[in-house]
Protein backbone atom coordinates (compact mmCIF):
# COMPACT_ATOMS: atom_id res chain seq x y z
CA UNK A 1 0.00 0.00 0.00
CA UNK A 2 1.59 3.28 -1.13
CA UNK A 3 0.32 6.84 -1.46
CA UNK A 4 1.26 8.36 -4.82
CA UNK A 5 -0.37 11.76 -4.47
CA UNK A 6 -2.59 13.55 -1.97
CA UNK A 7 -4.40 16.78 -2.89
CA UNK A 8 -6.84 18.96 -0.99
CA UNK A 9 -9.17 21.94 -1.12
CA UNK A 10 -10.29 23.86 1.99
CA UNK A 11 -9.44 21.16 4.51
CA UNK A 12 -8.87 22.72 7.94
CA UNK A 13 -6.06 25.29 7.40
CA UNK A 14 -5.02 23.69 4.09
CA UNK A 15 -6.32 25.86 1.25
CA UNK A 16 -5.31 24.12 -1.96
CA UNK A 17 -2.32 22.01 -2.93
CA UNK A 18 -0.84 18.57 -3.28
CA UNK A 19 1.78 16.32 -1.76
CA UNK A 20 3.76 13.74 -3.75
CA UNK A 21 5.55 11.52 -1.23
CA UNK A 22 8.24 8.94 -1.74
CA UNK A 23 7.60 5.30 -0.99
CA UNK A 24 9.82 5.28 2.11
CA UNK A 25 9.97 7.74 5.00
CA UNK A 26 8.42 11.19 4.55
CA UNK A 27 9.18 13.75 7.27
CA UNK A 28 6.77 16.71 7.58
CA UNK A 29 8.32 19.33 9.84
CA UNK A 30 7.34 22.84 10.87
CA UNK A 31 6.09 24.99 13.73
CA UNK A 32 2.95 24.41 15.74
CA UNK A 33 -0.43 24.95 14.07
CA UNK A 34 1.06 24.93 10.56
CA UNK A 35 -0.96 21.96 9.23
CA UNK A 36 1.30 18.93 9.69
CA UNK A 37 -1.27 16.85 11.58
CA UNK A 38 -4.00 18.08 9.23
CA UNK A 39 -2.14 16.48 6.32
CA UNK A 40 -2.00 13.13 8.14
CA UNK A 41 -5.63 13.40 9.16
CA UNK A 42 -6.74 14.09 5.59
CA UNK A 43 -4.93 11.02 4.27
CA UNK A 44 -6.15 8.88 7.18
CA UNK A 45 -9.81 9.58 6.35
CA UNK A 46 -9.45 7.41 3.24
CA UNK A 47 -9.28 4.35 5.51
CA UNK A 48 -13.03 4.89 6.02
CA UNK A 49 -12.54 5.41 9.74
CA UNK A 50 -13.35 8.50 11.79
CA UNK A 51 -10.72 11.16 12.39
CA UNK A 52 -8.02 9.84 14.72
CA UNK A 53 -8.34 13.18 16.54
CA UNK A 54 -11.99 12.56 17.33
CA UNK A 55 -13.13 15.53 15.23
CA UNK A 56 -16.61 15.90 13.80
CA UNK A 57 -16.91 16.13 10.02
CA UNK A 58 -18.06 19.76 10.09
CA UNK A 59 -14.92 20.75 12.04
CA UNK A 60 -12.68 19.63 9.17
CA UNK A 61 -14.00 22.17 6.64
CA UNK A 62 -11.92 25.35 6.40
CA UNK A 63 -13.55 28.24 8.29
CA UNK A 64 -15.77 30.31 6.00
CA UNK A 65 -15.99 27.60 3.32
CA UNK A 66 -19.01 25.51 2.35
CA UNK A 67 -17.16 22.29 1.62
CA UNK A 68 -13.85 20.47 1.66
CA UNK A 69 -12.53 18.10 -1.02
CA UNK A 70 -9.77 15.52 -0.75
CA UNK A 71 -8.23 13.22 -3.33
CA UNK A 72 -5.87 10.28 -2.82
CA UNK A 73 -4.05 8.49 -5.63
CA UNK A 74 -2.61 5.29 -4.21
CA UNK A 75 -1.25 1.90 -5.17
CA UNK A 76 -3.10 -0.96 -3.54
CA UNK A 77 -4.45 -4.36 -4.44
CA UNK A 78 -1.84 -4.65 -7.18
CA UNK A 79 -3.04 -1.59 -9.12
CA UNK A 80 -3.28 2.17 -9.06
CA UNK A 81 -6.47 3.57 -7.56
CA UNK A 82 -8.06 6.97 -6.95
CA UNK A 83 -10.37 7.90 -4.08
CA UNK A 84 -12.15 11.18 -3.35
CA UNK A 85 -13.88 12.53 -0.27
CA UNK A 86 -16.24 15.50 -0.07
CA UNK A 87 -17.18 17.04 3.27
CA UNK A 88 -20.22 19.31 3.19
CA UNK A 89 -23.20 20.06 5.46
CA UNK A 90 -21.49 18.17 8.28
CA UNK A 91 -21.24 14.91 6.35
CA UNK A 92 -18.66 12.99 4.34
CA UNK A 93 -19.23 11.27 1.01
CA UNK A 94 -16.73 9.18 -0.94
CA UNK A 95 -15.92 7.85 -4.39
CA UNK A 96 -13.53 5.04 -5.25
CA UNK A 97 -12.25 4.85 -8.82
CA UNK A 98 -15.15 7.05 -9.91
CA UNK A 99 -17.82 4.91 -8.21
CA UNK A 100 -19.85 6.60 -5.43
CA UNK A 101 -19.74 4.66 -2.16
CA UNK A 102 -22.71 4.03 0.13
CA UNK A 103 -20.77 5.72 2.91
CA UNK A 104 -17.18 6.49 3.82
CA UNK A 105 -17.24 3.36 5.97
CA UNK A 106 -17.57 1.36 2.74
CA UNK A 107 -13.94 2.37 2.05
CA UNK A 108 -12.69 0.24 4.95
CA UNK A 109 -10.26 -2.32 3.61
CA UNK A 110 -9.60 -0.47 0.33
CA UNK A 111 -6.91 1.85 1.69
CA UNK A 112 -5.26 0.54 4.86
CA UNK A 113 -3.14 2.46 7.35
CA UNK A 114 -1.98 2.47 10.97
CA UNK A 115 -1.64 5.67 12.96
CA UNK A 116 0.09 6.85 16.12
CA UNK A 117 -0.83 10.19 17.66
CA UNK A 118 -0.16 11.61 21.14
CA UNK A 119 -3.71 10.61 22.12
CA UNK A 120 -2.66 6.96 21.81
CA UNK A 121 -0.36 7.34 24.83
CA UNK A 122 -3.50 6.68 26.88
CA UNK A 123 -3.04 3.02 25.90
CA UNK A 124 -0.56 2.88 28.78
CA UNK A 125 -1.47 5.86 30.92
CA UNK A 126 -5.21 5.13 30.83
CA UNK A 127 -7.23 2.32 32.34
CA UNK A 128 -7.76 -1.24 31.06
CA UNK A 129 -10.69 -0.16 28.86
CA UNK A 130 -8.23 1.66 26.58
CA UNK A 131 -6.19 -1.49 26.04
CA UNK A 132 -9.28 -3.65 25.55
CA UNK A 133 -10.57 -1.24 22.90
CA UNK A 134 -7.20 -1.31 21.15
CA UNK A 135 -7.23 -5.11 20.94
CA UNK A 136 -10.89 -5.28 19.89
CA UNK A 137 -10.46 -2.76 17.08
CA UNK A 138 -7.34 -4.54 15.83
CA UNK A 139 -9.00 -7.96 15.96
CA UNK A 140 -12.02 -6.72 13.99
CA UNK A 141 -9.74 -5.21 11.36
CA UNK A 142 -8.04 -8.57 10.87
CA UNK A 143 -11.18 -10.70 11.30
CA UNK A 144 -14.33 -8.66 10.57
CA UNK A 145 -16.56 -11.55 11.65
CA UNK A 146 -15.40 -11.00 15.23
CA UNK A 147 -17.32 -7.71 15.35
CA UNK A 148 -20.56 -9.70 15.64
CA UNK A 149 -19.13 -11.74 18.51
CA UNK A 150 -18.09 -8.62 20.42
CA UNK A 151 -21.49 -7.04 19.78
CA UNK A 152 -23.29 -10.15 21.04
CA UNK A 153 -21.25 -10.08 24.25
CA UNK A 154 -22.07 -6.40 24.74
CA UNK A 155 -25.81 -7.04 24.34
CA UNK A 156 -25.77 -10.03 26.69
CA UNK A 157 -23.81 -8.06 29.31
CA UNK A 158 -26.20 -5.10 29.13
CA UNK A 159 -29.22 -7.39 29.47
CA UNK A 160 -27.75 -9.28 32.42
CA UNK A 161 -26.85 -6.04 34.21
CA UNK A 162 -30.39 -4.71 33.66
CA UNK A 163 -31.79 -7.96 35.03
CA UNK A 164 -29.54 -7.79 38.12
CA UNK A 165 -31.00 -4.35 38.90
CA UNK A 166 -34.62 -5.49 38.37
CA UNK A 167 -34.54 -8.76 40.35
CA UNK A 168 -34.59 -7.18 43.85
CA UNK A 169 -37.99 -5.66 43.02
CA UNK A 170 -39.20 -8.57 40.86
CA UNK A 171 -38.06 -11.87 42.39
CA UNK A 172 -39.85 -13.86 39.67
CA UNK A 173 -37.16 -12.72 37.20
CA UNK A 174 -34.45 -14.68 39.04
CA UNK A 175 -35.22 -17.83 37.03
CA UNK A 176 -34.31 -16.05 33.77
CA UNK A 177 -30.79 -15.25 35.01
CA UNK A 178 -29.53 -18.71 34.01
CA UNK A 179 -30.43 -18.01 30.38
CA UNK A 180 -28.40 -14.81 30.26
CA UNK A 181 -25.53 -16.42 32.16
CA UNK A 182 -25.29 -19.07 29.46
CA UNK A 183 -25.37 -16.51 26.66
CA UNK A 184 -22.81 -14.33 28.38
CA UNK A 185 -20.49 -17.26 29.04
CA UNK A 186 -20.69 -18.50 25.45
CA UNK A 187 -19.97 -15.16 23.79
CA UNK A 188 -17.51 -14.14 26.52
CA UNK A 189 -15.37 -17.22 25.97
CA UNK A 190 -15.23 -16.41 22.25
CA UNK A 191 -14.18 -12.83 23.02
CA UNK A 192 -11.39 -14.00 25.33
CA UNK A 193 -10.09 -16.52 22.80
CA UNK A 194 -9.95 -13.90 20.05
CA UNK A 195 -8.22 -11.34 22.27
CA UNK A 196 -5.71 -13.81 23.67
CA UNK A 197 -4.78 -15.11 20.22
CA UNK A 198 -4.22 -11.55 18.99
CA UNK A 199 -2.16 -10.60 22.05
CA UNK A 200 0.06 -13.63 21.52
CA UNK A 201 0.53 -12.78 17.83
CA UNK A 202 1.23 -9.13 18.68
CA UNK A 203 3.84 -9.87 21.34
CA UNK A 204 6.63 -11.01 19.00
CA UNK A 205 6.69 -8.10 16.53
CA UNK A 206 6.04 -5.56 19.33
CA UNK A 207 9.08 -6.86 21.25
CA UNK A 208 11.18 -6.74 18.09
CA UNK A 209 10.23 -3.15 17.23
CA UNK A 210 10.85 -2.03 20.80
CA UNK A 211 14.24 -3.76 20.92
CA UNK A 212 15.16 -2.05 17.66
CA UNK A 213 14.37 1.37 19.09
CA UNK A 214 16.40 0.88 22.28
CA UNK A 215 19.28 -1.11 20.81
CA UNK A 216 18.23 -4.28 22.64
CA UNK A 217 18.98 -2.85 26.11
CA UNK A 218 15.36 -3.25 27.24
CA UNK A 219 12.73 -5.91 26.60
CA UNK A 220 9.01 -5.37 25.98
CA UNK A 221 6.57 -8.13 26.88
CA UNK A 222 2.80 -8.44 26.57
CA UNK A 223 0.38 -10.67 28.46
CA UNK A 224 -3.38 -10.93 28.19
CA UNK A 225 -4.81 -11.04 31.71
CA UNK A 226 -8.18 -12.73 32.13
CA UNK A 227 -10.57 -11.70 34.86
CA UNK A 228 -11.96 -15.23 34.88
CA UNK A 229 -10.76 -18.57 33.55
CA UNK A 230 -13.97 -20.62 33.33
CA UNK A 231 -16.50 -17.83 32.78
CA UNK A 232 -19.60 -19.94 33.40
CA UNK A 233 -18.23 -21.06 36.76
CA UNK A 234 -17.12 -17.52 37.63
CA UNK A 235 -20.62 -16.18 36.95
CA UNK A 236 -22.11 -18.80 39.30
CA UNK A 237 -19.63 -17.91 42.05
CA UNK A 238 -20.20 -14.16 41.74
CA UNK A 239 -24.01 -14.25 41.43
CA UNK A 240 -24.74 -13.25 45.02
CA UNK A 241 -22.37 -10.28 44.87
CA UNK A 242 -23.63 -9.31 41.40
CA UNK A 243 -27.20 -9.16 42.71
CA UNK A 244 -26.07 -6.86 45.51
CA UNK A 245 -24.13 -4.49 43.24
CA UNK A 246 -26.33 -4.69 40.16
CA UNK A 247 -23.28 -5.29 37.93
CA UNK A 248 -21.53 -8.30 36.43
CA UNK A 249 -18.17 -8.69 38.13
CA UNK A 250 -16.65 -11.46 36.00
CA UNK A 251 -15.98 -11.52 32.29
CA UNK A 252 -13.81 -10.11 29.50
CA UNK A 253 -15.16 -6.61 30.14
CA UNK A 254 -12.80 -6.65 33.15
CA UNK A 255 -9.74 -8.08 31.33
CA UNK A 256 -6.52 -6.22 30.63
CA UNK A 257 -3.42 -6.30 28.45
CA UNK A 258 -0.35 -6.21 30.69
CA UNK A 259 2.59 -4.34 29.16
CA UNK A 260 5.99 -4.75 30.84
CA UNK A 261 9.42 -3.31 30.11
CA UNK A 262 12.26 -5.49 31.40
CA UNK A 263 9.86 -7.16 33.82
CA UNK A 264 8.37 -3.94 35.27
CA UNK A 265 4.83 -2.70 34.65
CA UNK A 266 5.07 0.00 31.99
CA UNK A 267 2.10 2.00 33.24
CA UNK A 268 3.54 2.45 36.74
CA UNK A 269 7.30 2.42 36.24
CA UNK A 270 8.22 3.38 32.66
CA UNK A 271 9.56 6.82 31.76
CA UNK A 272 7.67 9.00 29.29
CA UNK A 273 10.13 8.04 26.55
CA UNK A 274 9.72 4.34 27.34
CA UNK A 275 5.93 4.62 27.33
CA UNK A 276 6.00 6.43 24.00
CA UNK A 277 8.35 3.79 22.58
CA UNK A 278 6.11 0.97 23.85
CA UNK A 279 2.96 2.44 22.28
CA UNK A 280 4.79 3.05 18.99
CA UNK A 281 5.98 -0.58 19.07
CA UNK A 282 2.38 -1.74 19.60
CA UNK A 283 1.14 0.33 16.65
CA UNK A 284 3.95 -0.88 14.38
CA UNK A 285 3.26 -4.47 15.41
CA UNK A 286 -0.42 -3.89 14.60
CA UNK A 287 0.66 -2.73 11.13
CA UNK A 288 2.85 -5.82 10.65
CA UNK A 289 0.04 -8.22 11.57
CA UNK A 290 -2.25 -6.40 9.14
CA UNK A 291 0.41 -6.78 6.44
CA UNK A 292 0.68 -10.51 7.14
CA UNK A 293 -3.08 -10.92 6.87
CA UNK A 294 -3.54 -8.91 3.67
CA UNK A 295 -0.17 -9.50 2.02
CA UNK A 296 0.28 -5.74 1.69
CA UNK A 297 1.95 -3.43 4.27
CA UNK A 298 -0.32 -0.57 5.34
CA UNK A 299 0.79 3.05 5.28
CA UNK A 300 2.08 4.20 8.69
CA UNK A 301 1.29 7.68 10.06
CA UNK A 302 3.38 8.81 13.05
CA UNK A 303 2.18 12.15 14.41
CA UNK A 304 4.51 14.03 16.79
CA UNK A 305 6.30 10.75 17.37
CA UNK A 306 9.85 11.99 17.95
CA UNK A 307 9.36 14.13 21.04
CA UNK A 308 10.60 12.54 24.29
CA UNK A 309 12.65 10.01 22.28
CA UNK A 310 16.45 9.95 22.35
CA UNK A 311 18.53 10.07 19.18
CA UNK A 312 18.82 6.29 18.88
CA UNK A 313 15.07 5.76 18.97
CA UNK A 314 14.48 8.64 16.55
CA UNK A 315 17.04 7.21 14.14
CA UNK A 316 15.34 3.80 14.18
CA UNK A 317 11.97 5.28 13.23
CA UNK A 318 13.48 7.46 10.51
CA UNK A 319 15.82 4.93 8.95
CA UNK A 320 14.84 1.35 9.80
CA UNK A 321 11.14 0.98 8.87
CA UNK A 322 11.93 -0.19 5.37
CA UNK A 323 8.84 -2.36 4.89
CA UNK A 324 6.37 0.54 5.17
CA UNK A 325 5.65 3.87 3.57
CA UNK A 326 5.90 6.18 6.60
CA UNK A 327 4.78 9.76 7.28
CA UNK A 328 6.37 11.41 10.35
CA UNK A 329 5.54 14.86 11.73
CA UNK A 330 7.88 16.88 13.96
CA UNK A 331 8.62 20.50 14.83
CA UNK A 332 12.27 20.63 13.76
CA UNK A 333 14.27 18.98 10.96
CA UNK A 334 15.91 16.00 12.62
CA UNK A 335 19.73 15.81 12.51
CA UNK A 336 20.78 12.68 10.71
CA UNK A 337 17.26 12.16 9.43
CA UNK A 338 16.14 11.67 5.87
CA UNK A 339 17.75 14.09 3.42
CA UNK A 340 15.64 16.32 1.22
CA UNK A 341 15.20 14.75 -2.18
CA UNK A 342 12.77 14.19 -5.02
CA UNK A 343 10.14 16.50 -6.46
CA UNK A 344 8.82 19.43 -4.49
CA UNK A 345 5.09 19.25 -3.78
CA UNK A 346 3.35 22.17 -5.39
CA UNK A 347 1.17 24.53 -3.35
CA UNK A 348 -1.10 24.55 -6.40
CA UNK A 349 -3.73 27.06 -7.40
CA UNK A 350 -7.21 27.64 -6.03
CA UNK A 351 -9.53 25.44 -8.12
CA UNK A 352 -12.83 26.72 -9.40
CA UNK A 353 -15.69 26.19 -6.95
CA UNK A 354 -16.95 22.62 -7.06
CA UNK A 355 -13.87 21.25 -8.82
CA UNK A 356 -11.33 18.87 -7.35
CA UNK A 357 -7.87 20.43 -6.85
CA UNK A 358 -5.52 19.33 -9.60
CA UNK A 359 -2.10 20.22 -10.95
CA UNK A 360 -2.81 19.55 -14.60
CA UNK A 361 -0.97 16.23 -14.54
CA UNK A 362 -2.47 12.75 -14.43
CA UNK A 363 -1.38 10.77 -11.37
CA UNK A 364 1.08 7.94 -11.90
CA UNK A 365 -1.36 5.38 -10.53
CA UNK A 366 0.06 2.51 -12.50
CA UNK A 367 3.24 2.17 -10.48
CA UNK A 368 4.42 2.42 -6.91
CA UNK A 369 6.40 5.52 -5.87
CA UNK A 370 10.16 5.38 -5.54
CA UNK A 371 11.33 4.15 -2.16
CA UNK A 372 13.68 6.39 -0.23
CA UNK A 373 13.39 9.36 2.08
CA UNK A 374 12.01 12.84 1.66
CA UNK A 375 11.81 15.94 3.86
CA UNK A 376 9.03 18.54 3.62
CA UNK A 377 8.71 21.87 5.43
CA UNK A 378 5.09 22.72 6.31
CA UNK A 379 4.28 26.38 6.86
CA UNK A 380 0.89 28.05 6.77
CA UNK A 381 -0.75 24.87 5.53
CA UNK A 382 1.64 24.58 2.57
CA UNK A 383 4.19 21.72 2.37
CA UNK A 384 7.38 22.49 0.45
CA UNK A 385 10.66 20.70 -0.10
CA UNK A 386 12.95 21.17 2.86
CA UNK A 387 16.44 22.65 2.78
CA UNK A 388 19.33 20.57 1.46
Q: Is 78 exposed, middle or buried (0-12, 13-18, 19+ CB in 10 A)?
A: exposed
pLDDT band, very low/low/confident/very high, at 18 (cuts 50, 70, 90) = very high
Cβ–Cβ under 8 Å, residues 27 and 334: yes
Domain 125-266: CATH superfamily, name plus number: RecF/RecN/SMC, N-terminal domain (1.20.1050.90)
Class of domain 2-112+296-385: alpha beta
Q: Who wins on pLDDT, 130 or 388?
A: 130
* pLDDT tens-digit readout, 263-308: 999 999 999 999 999 999 999 999 999 999 989 999 999 999 888 8
pTM for this model (two decimals): 0.81
Please check whether the two domains, 2-112+296-385 and 125-266, share a CATH topology. no
What are the boundaries of each domain within the chain? 2-112+296-385, 125-266
Encode pLDDT of 242-264 as tens digits.
999 999 999 999 999 999 999 99
Contact residues for 46 (Cβ-Cβ < 8 A; gap 6+) = 70, 72, 74, 83, 85, 94, 107, 110, 111, 113
pLDDT in tens, 154-213: 999 999 999 999 998 888 889 899 999 999 999 999 999 999 999 999 999 999 999 999
Amino acid sequence: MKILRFSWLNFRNLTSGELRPCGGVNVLWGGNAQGKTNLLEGMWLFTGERSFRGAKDAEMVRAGCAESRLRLDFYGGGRGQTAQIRIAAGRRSAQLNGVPQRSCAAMIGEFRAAVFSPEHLSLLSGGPARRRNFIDAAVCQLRPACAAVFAEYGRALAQRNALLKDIPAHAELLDTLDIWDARLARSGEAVMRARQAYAQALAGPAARFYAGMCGGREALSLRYEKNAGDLAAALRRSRREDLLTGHTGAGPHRDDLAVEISGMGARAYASQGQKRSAVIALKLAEAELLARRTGEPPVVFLDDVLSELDGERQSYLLNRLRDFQVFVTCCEPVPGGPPASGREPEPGRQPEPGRQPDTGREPDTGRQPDTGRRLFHVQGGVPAQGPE
